[in-house]
Amino acid sequence: MKTIQIIEDDKSLREELSILLKHAGYDVVMVEHFSDVYRQMTETTCDLILLDISLPEENGELLLQKYRRKHDTPVIMLTSRSSEMDEVISLSYGANDYITKPYHPTILLLRIAEILKRKDSPSKINMYQDIQVNLLKGTLSRDRQEEILTKNEMIIFQMLLEHQGEIVQREVLMTALWNNDEFLNDNALSVNVSRLRAKLGSFGLSDAIETRKKLGYLLK
Amino acid sequence: MKLGSYLKDRVPAYIMEALATIIVVVFLVAFRIQSQIIVLVLIVEFIAWISTELWEWSRKRKFYAELETKLEELERKYLVMEVMEEPDFLEGKLLYAALKETDKSMAEAVSEEHRQNKEFREFIELWVHEVKLPLSSLRLMCHNHPGMEEKFLMQIKRIEDYVDNVLYYARSDSSEQDYVIKEVSLHKIASAVIMRNREVLQLIDAELHIKDLDLTVLTDGKWLEYILNQLLSNTLKYKDENRGLKIEIHAEDHEQSSALVFHDNGRGIPSSDLPYIFEKSFTGTNGRTISGSTGMGLYIVKQMCNRLGADIVCTSVEQEFTEFKITFPKHDFLKMQ
Protein backbone atom coordinates (compact mmCIF):
# COMPACT_ATOMS: atom_id res chain seq x y z
CA MET A 1 0.00 0.00 0.00
CA LYS A 2 1.30 3.44 -0.89
CA THR A 3 1.85 6.00 1.82
CA ILE A 4 1.03 9.65 1.37
CA GLN A 5 2.19 12.39 3.71
CA ILE A 6 -0.11 15.36 4.20
CA ILE A 7 1.41 18.67 5.22
CA GLU A 8 -1.52 21.04 5.60
CA ASP A 9 -2.13 23.33 8.55
CA ASP A 10 -5.90 23.68 8.24
CA LYS A 11 -7.17 20.95 10.54
CA SER A 12 -10.54 20.19 8.97
CA LEU A 13 -9.08 20.19 5.49
CA ARG A 14 -6.29 17.89 6.62
CA GLU A 15 -8.72 15.44 8.16
CA GLU A 16 -11.04 15.38 5.17
CA LEU A 17 -8.05 14.83 2.91
CA SER A 18 -6.96 11.88 4.99
CA ILE A 19 -10.45 10.36 4.83
CA LEU A 20 -10.46 10.81 1.08
CA LEU A 21 -7.05 9.18 0.67
CA LYS A 22 -7.82 6.33 3.03
CA HIS A 23 -11.03 5.57 1.12
CA ALA A 24 -8.99 5.50 -2.04
CA GLY A 25 -6.71 2.89 -0.49
CA TYR A 26 -3.68 4.88 0.60
CA ASP A 27 -1.90 4.97 3.93
CA VAL A 28 -1.80 8.46 5.36
CA VAL A 29 0.76 10.21 7.52
CA MET A 30 -0.07 13.68 8.75
CA VAL A 31 2.12 16.45 10.07
CA GLU A 32 0.29 17.96 13.04
CA HIS A 33 2.88 20.22 14.59
CA PHE A 34 4.39 22.83 12.43
CA SER A 35 7.44 23.92 14.35
CA ASP A 36 9.88 21.63 12.54
CA VAL A 37 8.13 20.54 9.40
CA TYR A 38 11.34 19.92 7.50
CA ARG A 39 12.62 17.36 10.00
CA GLN A 40 9.28 15.48 9.97
CA MET A 41 9.20 15.68 6.21
CA THR A 42 12.60 14.03 5.84
CA GLU A 43 12.22 11.49 8.62
CA THR A 44 8.97 10.01 7.32
CA THR A 45 9.28 7.54 4.51
CA CYS A 46 6.46 7.87 2.08
CA ASP A 47 5.68 7.59 -1.62
CA LEU A 48 4.24 11.04 -2.16
CA ILE A 49 3.90 14.32 -0.29
CA LEU A 50 0.99 16.75 -0.45
CA LEU A 51 2.46 20.08 0.59
CA ASP A 52 0.55 23.25 1.39
CA ILE A 53 2.30 26.48 0.47
CA SER A 54 1.21 28.76 3.28
CA LEU A 55 2.28 27.05 6.48
CA PRO A 56 2.47 28.84 9.82
CA GLU A 57 6.21 28.64 10.42
CA GLU A 58 7.76 28.10 7.04
CA ASN A 59 6.87 28.74 3.46
CA GLY A 60 6.05 25.59 1.50
CA GLU A 61 7.97 26.73 -1.55
CA LEU A 62 11.16 27.15 0.46
CA LEU A 63 10.58 23.82 2.18
CA LEU A 64 10.25 22.20 -1.21
CA GLN A 65 13.43 23.84 -2.45
CA LYS A 66 15.34 22.60 0.59
CA TYR A 67 13.79 19.13 0.36
CA ARG A 68 14.59 18.71 -3.33
CA ARG A 69 18.33 19.07 -2.76
CA LYS A 70 18.47 15.63 -1.17
CA HIS A 71 15.21 13.82 -1.87
CA ASP A 72 13.26 12.84 -4.94
CA THR A 73 9.93 11.72 -3.46
CA PRO A 74 7.17 13.22 -5.62
CA VAL A 75 5.62 16.38 -4.18
CA ILE A 76 2.26 17.87 -5.12
CA MET A 77 1.84 21.49 -4.06
CA LEU A 78 -1.59 22.43 -2.76
CA THR A 79 -2.37 26.09 -2.54
CA SER A 80 -5.11 28.63 -2.35
CA ARG A 81 -2.84 31.18 -3.98
CA SER A 82 -3.74 31.26 -7.59
CA SER A 83 -1.27 33.49 -9.31
CA GLU A 84 0.80 32.42 -12.25
CA MET A 85 3.94 33.42 -10.37
CA ASP A 86 3.33 30.96 -7.52
CA GLU A 87 2.90 28.15 -9.99
CA VAL A 88 6.07 29.02 -11.87
CA ILE A 89 8.07 29.17 -8.63
CA SER A 90 6.75 25.85 -7.31
CA LEU A 91 7.40 24.00 -10.53
CA SER A 92 10.89 25.46 -10.81
CA TYR A 93 11.66 24.29 -7.28
CA GLY A 94 10.83 20.78 -8.37
CA ALA A 95 7.15 20.21 -7.60
CA ASN A 96 5.67 17.32 -9.58
CA ASP A 97 2.30 18.96 -9.77
CA TYR A 98 0.56 22.10 -8.60
CA ILE A 99 -3.10 22.08 -7.61
CA THR A 100 -5.05 25.13 -6.53
CA LYS A 101 -7.71 25.05 -3.86
CA PRO A 102 -10.57 24.44 -3.94
CA TYR A 103 -9.60 21.24 -5.74
CA HIS A 104 -11.92 18.56 -6.94
CA PRO A 105 -11.38 15.34 -5.01
CA THR A 106 -11.65 13.06 -8.06
CA ILE A 107 -9.11 15.12 -9.94
CA LEU A 108 -6.75 15.16 -7.00
CA LEU A 109 -6.95 11.36 -6.77
CA LEU A 110 -6.33 11.01 -10.50
CA ARG A 111 -3.28 13.26 -10.36
CA ILE A 112 -1.89 11.34 -7.40
CA ALA A 113 -2.46 8.03 -9.16
CA GLU A 114 -0.81 9.36 -12.33
CA ILE A 115 2.32 10.47 -10.52
CA LEU A 116 2.63 7.24 -8.57
CA LYS A 117 2.12 5.23 -11.73
CA ARG A 118 4.73 7.24 -13.61
CA LYS A 119 7.12 6.64 -10.78
CA ASP A 120 6.99 2.87 -10.60
CA SER A 121 5.78 1.32 -13.79
CA PRO A 122 8.27 1.81 -16.57
CA SER A 123 6.74 -1.11 -18.47
CA LYS A 124 3.80 -0.06 -20.54
CA ILE A 125 2.42 -3.52 -21.12
CA ASN A 126 -0.25 -5.04 -18.90
CA MET A 127 -2.09 -8.30 -19.11
CA TYR A 128 -5.82 -9.00 -18.97
CA GLN A 129 -6.33 -12.75 -18.72
CA ASP A 130 -4.30 -13.94 -21.70
CA ILE A 131 -4.56 -10.69 -23.64
CA GLN A 132 -1.66 -8.28 -23.87
CA VAL A 133 -2.61 -4.67 -23.29
CA ASN A 134 -0.06 -2.40 -24.96
CA LEU A 135 -0.58 1.14 -23.74
CA LEU A 136 1.97 2.78 -26.02
CA LYS A 137 0.69 1.12 -29.16
CA GLY A 138 -2.90 1.32 -27.96
CA THR A 139 -3.61 -2.30 -28.82
CA LEU A 140 -4.98 -5.53 -27.38
CA SER A 141 -3.32 -8.64 -28.71
CA ARG A 142 -3.26 -12.40 -28.33
CA ASP A 143 -0.98 -14.52 -30.45
CA ARG A 144 -1.40 -13.07 -33.93
CA GLN A 145 -4.74 -11.45 -33.34
CA GLU A 146 -4.59 -7.71 -32.69
CA GLU A 147 -7.29 -5.10 -32.04
CA ILE A 148 -6.55 -1.39 -32.16
CA LEU A 149 -8.25 0.67 -29.46
CA THR A 150 -8.99 4.37 -29.79
CA LYS A 151 -7.62 6.71 -27.13
CA ASN A 152 -11.00 6.85 -25.39
CA GLU A 153 -11.45 3.09 -25.37
CA MET A 154 -7.94 2.63 -24.00
CA ILE A 155 -8.55 5.10 -21.15
CA ILE A 156 -11.77 3.30 -20.24
CA PHE A 157 -10.20 -0.14 -20.45
CA GLN A 158 -7.22 0.92 -18.40
CA MET A 159 -9.42 2.34 -15.63
CA LEU A 160 -11.49 -0.85 -15.56
CA LEU A 161 -8.37 -3.00 -15.58
CA GLU A 162 -6.83 -1.13 -12.67
CA HIS A 163 -9.97 -1.76 -10.65
CA GLN A 164 -10.65 -5.23 -11.98
CA GLY A 165 -13.43 -6.93 -10.03
CA GLU A 166 -14.73 -3.63 -8.65
CA ILE A 167 -17.49 -1.38 -9.89
CA VAL A 168 -16.11 1.72 -11.57
CA GLN A 169 -18.59 4.54 -11.49
CA ARG A 170 -19.55 6.27 -14.73
CA GLU A 171 -18.56 9.52 -13.10
CA VAL A 172 -15.05 8.24 -12.42
CA LEU A 173 -14.68 7.05 -16.02
CA MET A 174 -15.91 10.39 -17.29
CA THR A 175 -13.47 12.25 -15.09
CA ALA A 176 -10.59 10.11 -16.28
CA LEU A 177 -11.57 10.79 -19.89
CA TRP A 178 -12.01 14.51 -19.29
CA ASN A 179 -8.69 14.63 -17.49
CA ASN A 180 -7.16 13.40 -20.77
CA ASP A 181 -8.90 16.16 -22.73
CA GLU A 182 -11.59 13.85 -24.10
CA PHE A 183 -14.75 15.72 -23.17
CA LEU A 184 -17.36 13.05 -23.82
CA ASN A 185 -20.92 13.34 -22.73
CA ASP A 186 -23.01 10.61 -21.21
CA ASN A 187 -24.22 9.15 -24.46
CA ALA A 188 -20.75 9.10 -26.01
CA LEU A 189 -19.44 7.18 -23.00
CA SER A 190 -22.03 4.44 -23.55
CA VAL A 191 -21.10 4.30 -27.24
CA ASN A 192 -17.42 3.94 -26.39
CA VAL A 193 -18.07 1.22 -23.86
CA SER A 194 -20.13 -0.79 -26.32
CA ARG A 195 -17.39 -0.44 -28.98
CA LEU A 196 -14.88 -1.65 -26.42
CA ARG A 197 -17.16 -4.59 -25.68
CA ALA A 198 -17.30 -5.48 -29.34
CA LYS A 199 -13.51 -5.44 -29.59
CA LEU A 200 -13.21 -7.66 -26.52
CA GLY A 201 -15.88 -9.82 -28.13
CA SER A 202 -13.55 -10.62 -30.99
CA PHE A 203 -11.31 -12.30 -28.43
CA GLY A 204 -14.30 -14.27 -27.23
CA LEU A 205 -14.75 -12.08 -24.17
CA SER A 206 -17.93 -10.27 -25.12
CA ASP A 207 -19.32 -10.37 -21.57
CA ALA A 208 -16.13 -9.27 -19.82
CA ILE A 209 -17.58 -5.85 -19.05
CA GLU A 210 -20.73 -5.91 -16.98
CA THR A 211 -23.10 -2.98 -16.76
CA ARG A 212 -24.40 -2.28 -13.29
CA LYS A 213 -27.50 -0.15 -13.62
CA LYS A 214 -27.10 3.34 -12.10
CA LEU A 215 -23.71 2.41 -10.68
CA GLY A 216 -21.19 1.90 -13.42
CA TYR A 217 -19.19 -0.84 -15.08
CA LEU A 218 -17.30 -3.83 -13.83
CA LEU A 219 -14.51 -5.75 -15.53
CA LYS A 220 -14.60 -9.41 -14.59
CA MET B 1 -0.41 85.51 -21.10
CA LYS B 2 -1.16 87.64 -24.11
CA LEU B 3 -0.14 91.30 -24.23
CA GLY B 4 -3.74 92.26 -25.04
CA SER B 5 -5.22 90.62 -22.00
CA TYR B 6 -2.42 91.97 -19.80
CA LEU B 7 -3.13 95.52 -20.98
CA LYS B 8 -6.83 95.03 -20.40
CA ASP B 9 -6.13 93.88 -16.87
CA ARG B 10 -4.12 97.05 -16.27
CA VAL B 11 -6.76 99.54 -17.56
CA PRO B 12 -7.65 101.02 -14.11
CA ALA B 13 -3.99 101.79 -13.45
CA TYR B 14 -3.66 103.47 -16.86
CA ILE B 15 -6.72 105.59 -16.19
CA MET B 16 -5.24 106.71 -12.87
CA GLU B 17 -1.93 107.49 -14.50
CA ALA B 18 -3.60 109.36 -17.37
CA LEU B 19 -5.62 111.41 -14.87
CA ALA B 20 -2.50 112.21 -12.86
CA THR B 21 -0.67 113.27 -16.02
CA ILE B 22 -3.57 115.53 -17.10
CA ILE B 23 -3.58 117.18 -13.66
CA VAL B 24 0.20 117.69 -13.80
CA VAL B 25 -0.12 119.21 -17.29
CA VAL B 26 -2.90 121.52 -16.08
CA PHE B 27 -0.70 122.68 -13.19
CA LEU B 28 2.30 123.18 -15.45
CA VAL B 29 0.17 125.23 -17.87
CA ALA B 30 -1.24 127.22 -14.94
CA PHE B 31 2.29 128.02 -13.76
CA ARG B 32 3.08 129.15 -17.31
CA ILE B 33 5.89 126.64 -17.86
CA GLN B 34 7.32 126.64 -21.36
CA SER B 35 5.52 124.23 -23.66
CA GLN B 36 8.84 122.55 -24.73
CA ILE B 37 9.47 121.60 -21.12
CA ILE B 38 5.96 120.24 -20.74
CA VAL B 39 6.48 118.07 -23.85
CA LEU B 40 9.84 116.91 -22.49
CA VAL B 41 8.28 115.92 -19.16
CA LEU B 42 5.52 114.05 -20.98
CA ILE B 43 8.01 112.15 -23.19
CA VAL B 44 10.21 111.13 -20.24
CA GLU B 45 7.20 109.99 -18.28
CA PHE B 46 5.77 108.08 -21.26
CA ILE B 47 9.04 106.26 -21.92
CA ALA B 48 9.41 105.32 -18.24
CA TRP B 49 5.83 104.12 -18.16
CA ILE B 50 6.08 102.02 -21.35
CA SER B 51 9.30 100.35 -20.28
CA THR B 52 7.99 99.56 -16.80
CA GLU B 53 4.93 97.92 -18.33
CA LEU B 54 6.95 95.93 -20.86
CA TRP B 55 9.30 94.67 -18.17
CA GLU B 56 6.44 93.76 -15.87
CA TRP B 57 4.59 91.96 -18.65
CA SER B 58 7.59 90.05 -19.88
CA ARG B 59 8.64 88.61 -16.53
CA LYS B 60 5.10 87.58 -15.67
CA ARG B 61 4.60 86.20 -19.11
CA LYS B 62 7.69 84.04 -18.72
CA PHE B 63 6.39 82.46 -15.51
CA TYR B 64 2.81 81.92 -16.59
CA ALA B 65 3.72 80.61 -20.02
CA GLU B 66 5.98 78.05 -18.40
CA LEU B 67 3.20 77.14 -15.98
CA GLU B 68 0.75 76.63 -18.81
CA THR B 69 3.01 74.42 -20.92
CA LYS B 70 4.08 72.33 -17.98
CA LEU B 71 0.47 71.85 -16.94
CA GLU B 72 -0.28 70.67 -20.42
CA GLU B 73 2.60 68.22 -20.47
CA LEU B 74 2.14 66.72 -17.04
CA GLU B 75 -0.01 63.68 -16.51
CA ARG B 76 -0.43 64.24 -12.80
CA LYS B 77 -1.16 67.94 -12.88
CA TYR B 78 -1.15 68.38 -9.16
CA LEU B 79 2.60 67.94 -9.20
CA VAL B 80 3.20 70.97 -11.43
CA MET B 81 4.88 73.08 -8.77
CA GLU B 82 7.55 70.42 -8.36
CA VAL B 83 8.85 71.17 -11.84
CA MET B 84 8.55 75.00 -11.73
CA GLU B 85 11.22 77.49 -10.69
CA GLU B 86 10.27 80.12 -8.16
CA PRO B 87 9.40 83.40 -9.97
CA ASP B 88 11.05 86.73 -9.04
CA PHE B 89 7.93 88.88 -8.57
CA LEU B 90 5.86 89.13 -5.43
CA GLU B 91 2.48 87.78 -6.64
CA GLY B 92 4.29 84.91 -8.31
CA LYS B 93 6.14 84.13 -5.11
CA LEU B 94 2.89 84.10 -3.13
CA LEU B 95 1.19 81.88 -5.69
CA TYR B 96 4.21 79.63 -5.82
CA ALA B 97 4.27 79.19 -2.04
CA ALA B 98 0.52 78.55 -1.85
CA LEU B 99 0.54 76.00 -4.66
CA LYS B 100 3.58 74.24 -3.23
CA GLU B 101 1.68 73.82 -0.01
CA THR B 102 -1.44 72.59 -1.84
CA ASP B 103 0.62 70.12 -3.82
CA LYS B 104 2.23 68.74 -0.77
CA SER B 105 -1.02 68.11 1.01
CA MET B 106 -2.53 66.68 -2.17
CA ALA B 107 0.39 64.30 -2.64
CA GLU B 108 0.05 63.20 0.94
CA ALA B 109 -3.67 62.58 0.55
CA VAL B 110 -3.09 60.63 -2.64
CA SER B 111 -0.39 58.45 -1.16
CA GLU B 112 -2.48 57.82 1.93
CA GLU B 113 -5.33 56.77 -0.33
CA HIS B 114 -2.95 54.52 -2.28
CA ARG B 115 -1.72 52.93 0.88
CA GLN B 116 -5.23 52.27 2.15
CA ASN B 117 -6.22 50.90 -1.22
CA LYS B 118 -3.26 48.59 -1.22
CA GLU B 119 -3.96 47.43 2.30
CA PHE B 120 -7.56 46.76 1.40
CA ARG B 121 -6.52 44.80 -1.65
CA GLU B 122 -4.07 42.76 0.35
CA PHE B 123 -6.79 42.03 2.83
CA ILE B 124 -9.09 40.88 0.02
CA GLU B 125 -6.38 38.58 -1.35
CA LEU B 126 -5.81 37.14 2.09
CA TRP B 127 -9.49 36.77 2.74
CA VAL B 128 -10.03 34.97 -0.56
CA HIS B 129 -7.26 32.52 0.25
CA GLU B 130 -8.73 31.92 3.67
CA VAL B 131 -12.24 31.38 2.42
CA LYS B 132 -10.96 28.80 -0.04
CA LEU B 133 -9.92 26.53 2.82
CA PRO B 134 -13.43 25.86 4.15
CA LEU B 135 -14.59 25.60 0.53
CA SER B 136 -12.01 22.89 -0.09
CA SER B 137 -13.07 21.14 3.08
CA LEU B 138 -16.69 21.27 1.97
CA ARG B 139 -15.83 19.76 -1.38
CA LEU B 140 -13.95 16.94 0.30
CA MET B 141 -16.78 16.39 2.77
CA CYS B 142 -19.27 16.11 -0.09
CA HIS B 143 -17.05 13.50 -1.63
CA ASN B 144 -16.42 11.63 1.62
CA HIS B 145 -20.07 11.57 2.66
CA PRO B 146 -22.02 10.79 -0.49
CA GLY B 147 -25.72 11.42 -0.94
CA MET B 148 -27.20 14.82 -1.86
CA GLU B 149 -23.74 15.93 -2.89
CA GLU B 150 -24.72 17.12 -6.34
CA LYS B 151 -26.91 19.86 -4.93
CA PHE B 152 -24.27 20.91 -2.45
CA LEU B 153 -21.56 20.90 -5.07
CA MET B 154 -23.58 23.23 -7.30
CA GLN B 155 -23.88 25.74 -4.51
CA ILE B 156 -20.22 25.38 -3.59
CA LYS B 157 -19.32 26.05 -7.20
CA ARG B 158 -21.42 29.21 -7.11
CA ILE B 159 -19.64 30.43 -4.02
CA GLU B 160 -16.28 29.66 -5.60
CA ASP B 161 -17.17 31.69 -8.67
CA TYR B 162 -18.33 34.65 -6.59
CA VAL B 163 -15.16 34.49 -4.51
CA ASP B 164 -13.10 34.52 -7.70
CA ASN B 165 -15.02 37.57 -8.89
CA VAL B 166 -13.94 39.49 -5.82
CA LEU B 167 -10.32 38.44 -6.22
CA TYR B 168 -10.06 39.31 -9.88
CA TYR B 169 -12.01 42.52 -9.51
CA ALA B 170 -9.46 43.63 -6.94
CA ARG B 171 -6.65 42.52 -9.21
CA SER B 172 -7.96 44.02 -12.41
CA ASP B 173 -8.57 47.41 -10.85
CA SER B 174 -5.28 47.79 -9.10
CA SER B 175 -2.52 49.88 -10.51
CA GLU B 176 0.07 47.29 -9.60
CA GLN B 177 1.20 44.78 -12.11
CA ASP B 178 0.57 41.38 -10.62
CA TYR B 179 0.30 39.30 -13.72
CA VAL B 180 3.00 37.35 -15.48
CA ILE B 181 3.03 37.32 -19.25
CA LYS B 182 4.38 34.13 -20.71
CA GLU B 183 3.57 31.60 -23.36
CA VAL B 184 0.36 29.87 -22.42
CA SER B 185 -1.24 26.91 -24.13
CA LEU B 186 -4.86 27.63 -25.02
CA HIS B 187 -5.58 23.94 -24.87
CA LYS B 188 -4.36 23.71 -21.31
CA ILE B 189 -6.42 26.70 -20.22
CA ALA B 190 -9.59 25.45 -21.88
CA SER B 191 -9.16 21.99 -20.32
CA ALA B 192 -8.60 23.47 -16.88
CA VAL B 193 -11.77 25.56 -17.14
CA ILE B 194 -13.82 22.63 -18.37
CA MET B 195 -12.52 20.46 -15.55
CA ARG B 196 -13.48 23.15 -13.06
CA ASN B 197 -17.03 23.01 -14.33
CA ARG B 198 -17.08 19.29 -14.90
CA GLU B 199 -19.89 18.44 -12.49
CA VAL B 200 -22.39 20.88 -13.95
CA LEU B 201 -21.40 20.12 -17.53
CA GLN B 202 -21.85 16.40 -16.98
CA LEU B 203 -25.06 16.87 -15.06
CA ILE B 204 -26.72 18.77 -17.90
CA ASP B 205 -24.99 16.48 -20.40
CA ALA B 206 -23.46 19.29 -22.44
CA GLU B 207 -21.93 18.60 -25.82
CA LEU B 208 -18.39 19.98 -25.98
CA HIS B 209 -16.39 20.59 -29.13
CA ILE B 210 -12.85 21.52 -28.31
CA LYS B 211 -10.81 21.71 -31.47
CA ASP B 212 -7.81 23.35 -33.11
CA LEU B 213 -6.57 24.62 -29.80
CA ASP B 214 -2.92 23.67 -30.23
CA LEU B 215 -1.76 27.22 -30.03
CA THR B 216 0.13 29.27 -27.51
CA VAL B 217 -0.45 32.94 -26.77
CA LEU B 218 1.44 35.44 -24.66
CA THR B 219 -0.67 36.21 -21.63
CA ASP B 220 -1.20 35.41 -17.97
CA GLY B 221 -2.58 31.89 -17.70
CA LYS B 222 -4.50 32.38 -14.49
CA TRP B 223 -6.15 35.54 -15.73
CA LEU B 224 -7.17 33.92 -18.97
CA GLU B 225 -8.52 30.96 -17.04
CA TYR B 226 -10.67 33.30 -15.00
CA ILE B 227 -11.91 35.05 -18.14
CA LEU B 228 -12.85 31.79 -19.82
CA ASN B 229 -14.48 30.50 -16.64
CA GLN B 230 -16.58 33.65 -16.53
CA LEU B 231 -17.73 33.12 -20.11
CA LEU B 232 -18.54 29.48 -19.38
CA SER B 233 -20.49 30.27 -16.25
CA ASN B 234 -22.52 32.82 -18.23
CA THR B 235 -23.19 30.16 -20.83
CA LEU B 236 -24.43 27.82 -18.12
CA LYS B 237 -26.59 30.56 -16.63
CA TYR B 238 -28.16 31.64 -19.90
CA LYS B 239 -28.57 28.34 -21.67
CA ASP B 240 -31.62 27.70 -23.77
CA GLU B 241 -33.84 25.31 -21.80
CA ASN B 242 -35.45 23.96 -24.97
CA ARG B 243 -32.37 22.33 -26.42
CA GLY B 244 -29.24 20.58 -25.29
CA LEU B 245 -26.29 22.82 -24.60
CA LYS B 246 -23.52 22.84 -27.18
CA ILE B 247 -20.26 24.63 -26.53
CA GLU B 248 -17.51 25.07 -29.04
CA ILE B 249 -14.06 26.40 -28.24
CA HIS B 250 -11.46 26.85 -30.94
CA ALA B 251 -8.49 29.03 -31.81
CA GLU B 252 -7.57 31.06 -34.86
CA ASP B 253 -4.02 31.78 -35.90
CA HIS B 254 -3.45 34.94 -37.92
CA GLU B 255 -0.26 36.65 -39.00
CA GLN B 256 -0.45 39.51 -36.53
CA SER B 257 -2.59 37.94 -33.84
CA SER B 258 -4.12 34.79 -32.40
CA ALA B 259 -7.69 34.47 -31.24
CA LEU B 260 -9.66 32.28 -28.88
CA VAL B 261 -13.28 31.78 -29.87
CA PHE B 262 -15.95 30.68 -27.43
CA HIS B 263 -19.28 29.79 -28.98
CA ASP B 264 -22.48 28.51 -27.37
CA ASN B 265 -26.01 27.80 -28.52
CA GLY B 266 -27.67 29.56 -25.61
CA ARG B 267 -30.48 32.04 -25.70
CA GLY B 268 -28.27 34.81 -27.05
CA ILE B 269 -28.20 38.51 -26.26
CA PRO B 270 -30.79 40.98 -27.61
CA SER B 271 -29.13 43.29 -30.13
CA SER B 272 -30.26 46.31 -28.12
CA ASP B 273 -28.24 45.03 -25.13
CA LEU B 274 -25.19 43.94 -27.08
CA PRO B 275 -23.28 47.26 -27.12
CA TYR B 276 -23.50 47.58 -23.34
CA ILE B 277 -22.68 44.10 -22.03
CA PHE B 278 -19.13 45.04 -21.00
CA GLU B 279 -20.26 48.09 -19.04
CA LYS B 280 -20.09 48.16 -15.28
CA SER B 281 -23.33 47.19 -13.54
CA PHE B 282 -25.18 46.59 -16.80
CA THR B 283 -27.60 43.71 -16.30
CA GLY B 284 -29.64 43.68 -19.51
CA THR B 285 -32.78 41.75 -20.33
CA ASN B 286 -31.28 38.31 -19.68
CA GLY B 287 -29.75 39.33 -16.39
CA ARG B 288 -33.03 40.72 -15.12
CA THR B 289 -35.27 37.87 -16.24
CA ILE B 290 -33.11 34.86 -15.49
CA SER B 291 -30.96 35.26 -12.47
CA GLY B 292 -29.67 37.86 -10.12
CA SER B 293 -26.93 39.30 -12.27
CA THR B 294 -24.66 41.92 -10.77
CA GLY B 295 -23.42 43.18 -14.11
CA MET B 296 -19.85 42.79 -12.92
CA GLY B 297 -18.70 39.57 -14.60
CA LEU B 298 -18.20 40.80 -18.14
CA TYR B 299 -17.04 44.20 -16.90
CA ILE B 300 -14.19 42.52 -15.03
CA VAL B 301 -13.48 40.37 -18.08
CA LYS B 302 -13.18 43.46 -20.24
CA GLN B 303 -10.93 45.22 -17.74
CA MET B 304 -8.66 42.22 -17.54
CA CYS B 305 -8.46 41.90 -21.31
CA ASN B 306 -7.51 45.57 -21.50
CA ARG B 307 -4.75 45.13 -18.99
CA LEU B 308 -3.45 42.05 -20.76
CA GLY B 309 -3.46 43.92 -24.07
CA ALA B 310 -6.05 41.57 -25.52
CA ASP B 311 -9.24 42.53 -27.29
CA ILE B 312 -12.63 40.96 -26.65
CA VAL B 313 -15.68 41.23 -28.88
CA CYS B 314 -19.07 39.59 -28.71
CA THR B 315 -21.47 38.66 -31.47
CA SER B 316 -24.85 37.14 -30.80
CA VAL B 317 -28.18 36.33 -32.36
CA GLU B 318 -31.10 35.97 -30.01
CA GLN B 319 -32.39 32.42 -29.60
CA GLU B 320 -29.44 31.15 -31.61
CA PHE B 321 -25.96 31.70 -30.30
CA THR B 322 -23.47 33.86 -28.45
CA GLU B 323 -19.84 34.05 -29.49
CA PHE B 324 -16.95 35.72 -27.72
CA LYS B 325 -13.66 36.25 -29.48
CA ILE B 326 -10.53 37.19 -27.57
CA THR B 327 -7.71 38.43 -29.76
CA PHE B 328 -4.12 38.41 -28.58
CA PRO B 329 -1.60 40.46 -30.53
CA LYS B 330 1.67 38.73 -31.41
CA HIS B 331 4.72 40.49 -30.11
CA ASP B 332 7.88 39.04 -31.58
CA PHE B 333 10.11 41.02 -29.29
CA LEU B 334 8.45 39.45 -26.27
CA LYS B 335 9.02 35.98 -27.57
CA MET B 336 12.73 36.53 -27.98
CA GLN B 337 13.30 37.13 -24.28
**pLDDT for residue B116:** 92
How would you classify the pairing of strands B207-211 and B216-219? Answer: unpaired
ipTM of the complex: 0.74
The set of long-range contacts for A171-177, using a CB threshold of 8 Å and a minimum separation of 24, is: A171/A106, A171/A216, A171/B202, A172/A106, A172/A216, A173/A216, A173/A217, A174/B198, A174/B202, A175/A106, A175/A107, A175/A110, A175/B198, A176/A110, A177/A152
* Superfamily of chain region A3-120: Response regulator (3.40.50.2300)
**pLDDT for residue B337:** 43
Q: Is residue B119 a part of any domain in this protein? A: no
What Cα–Cα distance (Å) separates residue A37 from each residue in A7, A17, A58, A89, B219? 8, 18, 8, 20, 36
**pLDDT for residue B313:** 94
CA distance linking residue B240 with residue B267, whole number of Å: 5
Q: Do A84 and B167 touch (CB under 8 A)?
A: no
Q: How many other C-beta atoms lie within 10 A of the C-beta of residue B199?
A: 20
Q: Is residue B132 a part of any domain in this protein? A: no
What Cα–Cα distance (Å) separates residue B305 from each residue in A198, B26, B245, B310? 49, 80, 26, 5
Q: Is residue B156 a part of any domain in this protein? A: no
Q: Is residue B147 a part of any domain in this protein? A: no
What does the mean pLDDT of chain A come to?
A: 86
Residues in chain B closer than 8 A to A183 (CB atoms): 194, 201, 208, 210
**pLDDT for residue B323:** 95
Q: Is residue B36 a part of any domain in this protein? A: yes
Alpha helices in chain B (DSSP H): 3-9, 11-30, 35-73, 90-144, 149-173, 186-196, 198-203, 221-237, 284-289, 297-308, 332-336
Of A13, A84, A183, the CB nearest to B179: A84
**Chain B, 99-158: which have a CB under 8 Å from a chain A CB?**
128-130, 132-141, 143-144, 156
**pLDDT for residue A124:** 61
Q: Do A16 and B140 touch (CB under 8 A)?
A: yes
Domain final residue, candidates B78, B109, B140: B109
How would you classify the pairing of strands A3-7 and A27-30? Answer: parallel
State whether B92 and B190 are in the same domain.
no
**pLDDT for residue A27:** 93
Nearest-Å Rg of the Cα atoms of chain B is 35
Q: Give B216-272 pLDDT, tens digit per residue.
A: 898 888 899 999 999 998 898 888 888 889 999 999 998 888 999 999 998 889 999
Residue ranges of domains in chain A? 3-120, 125-219
In this structure, which amino acid lies at residue A184? L
Question: What's the domain range around B312?
Answer: 182-337
Domain final residue, candidates B62, B82, B109: B109
Q: How many CB pairs under 8 A join A and B?
A: 93
Mean pLDDT value across residues A4-13: 91
Extract the residue ranges of chain B whose pLDDT is less than 50: 336-337
State whether B325 and B241 are in the same domain.
yes
Q: Give B18-34 pLDDT, tens digit per residue.
A: 999 999 999 999 998 88
Say if residue A122's pLDDT is above 60: no
State whether B197 and B59 are in the same domain.
no
**pLDDT for residue A121:** 63
Mean pLDDT value across residues A168-189: 86
Q: Is the pTM of this model over 0.80?
A: no
Q: Do A185 and B205 touch (CB under 8 A)?
A: yes
Q: Do A101 and B180 touch (CB under 8 A)?
A: no
What fold, for A125-219?
Arc Repressor Mutant, subunit A (1.10.10)
Q: Is residue B224 a part of any domain in this protein? A: yes
Of B129, B140, B207, the CB nearest to A81: B129
Domain final residue, candidates B109, B131, B152: B109
Q: Is residue B45 a part of any domain in this protein? A: yes
State whether B71 and B189 are in the same domain.
no
State whether B200 and B321 are in the same domain.
yes
Helices (H) and strands (E) in chain A, counts: 8, 12
Closest CA of chain A from B129, distance in Å = 5
Q: Is residue B42 a part of any domain in this protein? A: yes
As a dihedral over the C-alpha atoms of residue B160, residue B166, residue B167, residue B168, rounded to 10 degrees, the angle is: 110
Q: Give A53-84 pLDDT, tens digit per residue.
A: 888 888 888 899 999 888 889 999 988 877 77
Residues in chain A closer than 8 A to B156 (CB atoms): 102
Tell me the percentage of chain A whose pLDDT exceeds 70.
97
Q: Give A137-158 pLDDT, tens digit per residue.
A: 888 888 888 888 898 998 899 8
State whether B193 and B304 are in the same domain.
yes
> Cα–chain-centroid distance for residue A43?
25
State whether B105 and B186 are in the same domain.
no
State whether B201 and B329 are in the same domain.
yes
Q: Give A89-120 pLDDT, tens digit per residue.
A: 888 888 888 888 878 888 889 889 888 887 76
Q: Which residues contact B197 (CB under 8 A, 6 or more apart)?
A: B157, B229, B232, B233, B236
